[in-house]
Chains A and B, each alone.
Chain A
Amino acid sequence: MKKKGAEILVDALVREGVDILFGFPGGQAIPIFDALYDEKRINVVLVRHEQAAAHAADGYARATGKVGVCLATSGPGATNLVTGIANAHLDSIPMVAITGQVATPYLGTDAFQEADMVGISRPITKHNFLVKDVRELPAILKQAFYIARTGRPGPVLVDLPSDVSRAVLDDYEYPAEITMRSYRPTVVGHARQIEKAAELIKTAHKPLVYAGGGVITSGAHAELFEFVTKLNAPVTLTLMGLGAFPGEHPLFVGMPGMHGSKAANLAFQEADLIISVGARFDDRVTGHVGSFAPKAKIIHLDIDPTTISKIVRVDIPVVGDAKNILTALNKAVSPRGASEWNEQIEKMKNGALFTYKNSEKVIKPQYVIERLYQLTKEKDVLIATEVGQHQMWTAQYYRFARPRTFLTSGGLGTMGFGLPAAMGASLGAAKKDVVNVAGDGSIQMNIQELATIAINRIPVKIVILNNEYLGMVRQWQEMFWNKRYSSTCLRGGMLCGECTGPGHCKMTYVPDFVKLAESYGIPGFRAVKPAEVDATLAKGLETDGPALMEFAVAPEENVFPMVPAGKPLDQVMEEL
């Protein structure tokens, strides 16, 4: 079949099952947008900034498990995708990013809007391609989707020069199958390793299951549930793993690490066996590596061999897909009854996993999350967050019950992720309600997407916990930098001279989020007293379409518990 490069791209997208694409046009991408103009099977969502296109594709992928696709022009359009691509890379999210590029004769000449995207994106993609000849395009696109979605998923960038988009291929055919001699991810766990793992599990007295995002990627939540309940073992879930096991289940001990539950952290320190499933011993989880889990042997199940023994020495590694390995392990292990270890864990949990002091005068941010949880837990909603204190409070107090219901930037910690990710997730999940929990700092990083949300009537419910600070940095300044609040006050910044605290500040807070939402035609609601929280949440959640809810919360509330960076997990601070 005779087709132009841009038409080949569109045909490939349809064949790969792409129904939504997030993009922003520009000179070198016009041929691609032109080819999309008549393609009714792909909903092209015009964002207001390319970064949002990448995050929206990411949110779409997290909610659906499918490959998210974003499209930008060359140069600045492409470089604006970079943060979003890096974010997807660190959280192993399947994504194909397509960038326009200057025509091949201009490559390397510092042409207008030229940026070396293959060079720039090399360390933040799973793989990337520069298409120099339209004859290579079909196979490259097939490989791009294959690489993005298989093995440990990740973003793949395809850089498409405009002359290749316009070039005609006479005998176009999209490859039906793909095999790559240089890329063959291991899916099936090694039988002998699984046997060894099962043997070690049998002899353990204090097992702890430590599960991460890999369980969600693999769709192994049912197998994880069977494994955990069969072993009657406590289970901790990383930030990326929340939702992989029911948050209200008695065996769940909460998230581990820096802002994890005391129970999860003490369980690591006391366990004699850690079974890690699709988690990577991130520094925010382990604290001081030398003191991490001193009494435990470690079984590590992961699809990516590089994660094994990268941070901590592993006794029994099993490389493969979590679902495959857990299925085999579930057959090999025998049920374990309740033991002293279970009692010890109950003592560590001490009732609630996370606690705070509520107030009748001022809205506590944790209270808003607790109420949000109570008001939405029976409903089919997704929760997204930005990055910072509000993100940690959401991870602590929203007790996620199902996988793919929590969309958060784990590895890269990208402020500005939540709003576009929520809109991508909602569109991917047939316009499901998505609540984006945000701080007043983070929300402003991609606030331009209110336009995309309003125009497409995407039911994103924005919850802003407004503490008038860049709260997480302020917390560190309070705890470790002698309360020198350098550049963290969003009311006055550094301009007001003597700071006497937000309550006495003469500066006016900008923006007025409610008015801002209204200027986009999005209803806005505000709560300033604890008694108003429920009604404000109800108004926003019951609005048909998008809504914004702003909560004036206690400005200097801190996230606890906290294990300071680089400290052992048993040095938990529970208050100042």
Chain B
Amino acid sequence: MNTRTISVLVENHSGTLSRISGLFASRGYNISSLTVGETEDPSISRMTIVVEGDEAIIEQVVKQLNKLIDVIKVIDFEGLPVIEREFILVRVDSGKSSRHEIVELADLFGAKVAYVGATSITFELSAPYDIINNFIDLIKPYGVKELIRTGKVAMAQTRK
């Protein structure tokens, strides 16, 4: 399934998130991830939404989002140079024999050790989406006990 990353600037009101999520639910669009937070202007929140769908669906999603009264601007990142990151916390089994190996692997990705327990290690990693996926795939065989992904955030490299 194709995915597309879009950024939505919205009025920072109560209820705006439910308007966005309700739109996706009632029109049957799929969200891979959604993050939201305040911007440099506290009256505006910014959402980064990763949407699944073909070209026609994405076109409708962008238009339908624009139609919502609380939406100020929708930015479709397709074809634009962007900085994108996702942050994860992952707790991995660490028997004595594998601890060294795991730390070495994490080190290759620039993941930091967030906590060391008796039988597990928790890493934190902030990286582009594909690298996060790559890291998770490689660490999985060691036994992932718990994984938290924040979802992607994205920003154009320069402001238009």
Most buried by A among B10, B19, B26, B67: B67
Question: What CA separation (Å) do A396 and B29 show in the bound complex?
Answer: 38
What is the CA–CA distance of A127 and B22 in the complex, to the nearest angstrom?
13
Q: Which of B11, B18, B60, B63 contacts A182 (CB 8 A)?
A: B11
Work out how many contacts link A and B, with CB atoms closer than 8 A.
34
A153-203, CB < 8 A from B: 180-183
* A123 proximity list for chain B (CB < 8 A): 22, 26
Within 8 A of B (CB), among A280-310: 304-306, 308-310
B72 is an interface residue with CB less than 8 A from chain A? yes
In the assembled complex, B71 has its CB within 8 A of some CB on chain A = yes
Q: How far is the CA of A166 from the CA of B11 in the complex (A)?
A: 28
CA distance A336 to B72 in the complex (A): 44
User: Closest CB-CB distance, A559 to chain B, in whole Å?
Assistant: 31
Expressed in whole angstroms, the Cα–Cα distance for A192 and B66 within the complex equals 22
Interface size class of A (residues with CB under 8 A): 10 to 19
Q: Which one, A118, A147, A182, A310, contacts B72 given CB within 8 A?
A: A182
Task: Indicate if the CB atoms of A305 and B26 lie closer than 8 Å.
Answer: no
Residues in B14-52 with C-beta less than 8 Å from chain A: 15, 18-19, 22, 26
Give Cα A309 to B64, complex, Å: 12
Asked if B86 CB lies within 8 Å of chain A CBs, one says no
B69 touches A305 (CB 8 A): no
A129 to B143 CA separation, bound complex (whole angstroms): 49
Residues of chain A whose beta carbon lies under 8 Å from any beta carbon of chain B: 118-119, 122-123, 126-127, 130, 147, 180-183, 304-306, 308-310
- Whether the pair B63, A183 counts as a contact (CB closer than 8 A) is no
Asked whether, in the complex, the Cβ of B67 is within 8 Å of the Cβ of A304, the reply is yes
B interface residue count range (under 10 / 10 to 19 / 20 to 34 / 35 or more): 10 to 19
Q: How far is the CA of A184 from the CA of B3 in the complex (A)?
A: 29
Partner-A contacts on B (CB < 8 A): 10-11, 15, 18-19, 22, 26, 56, 59-60, 63-64, 66-67, 69-72
Q: Are B69 and A183 in contact (CB under 8 A)?
A: yes
Q: What are 25 A-B interface contacts by the 8 Å CB criterion?
A: A118-B15, A119-B18, A122-B18, A122-B22, A123-B22, A123-B26, A127-B69, A127-B70, A180-B69, A181-B72, A182-B10, A182-B11, A182-B69, A182-B70, A183-B69, A304-B67, A305-B63, A305-B67, A306-B63, A306-B64, A306-B67, A308-B63, A309-B56, A309-B60, A310-B60
Complex contacts, B71 vs chain A, CB 8 Å: 182
A317-B64 Cα distance, complex, nearest whole Å: 16
Q: Which residue of B lies closest to A118 (CB)?
A: B15
CA–CA, A197 to B140, complex, Å? 57
Please indicate the chain B residues that have their CB under 8 angstroms from the CB of A305 in the complex: 63, 66-67
Q: Which residues of A contact B11 (CB under 8 A)?
A: 182
- When chains A and B are docked, how far (Å) is the Cα of A122 from the Cα of B70? 12
Considering the chains assembled together, what is the distance between the CA atoms of A155 and B31 in angstroms? 28
The CA-CA distance from A147 to B67 in the complex, in Å, is 12
The 4 closest A-B pairs by CB, nearest first: A127-B69, A306-B63, A182-B72, A305-B63
Given A306-B60, A306-B63, A310-B60: A126 touches B69 (CB 8 Å cut-off): yes
Which residues of B are found within 8 Å of A126, using beta-carbon distances? 69
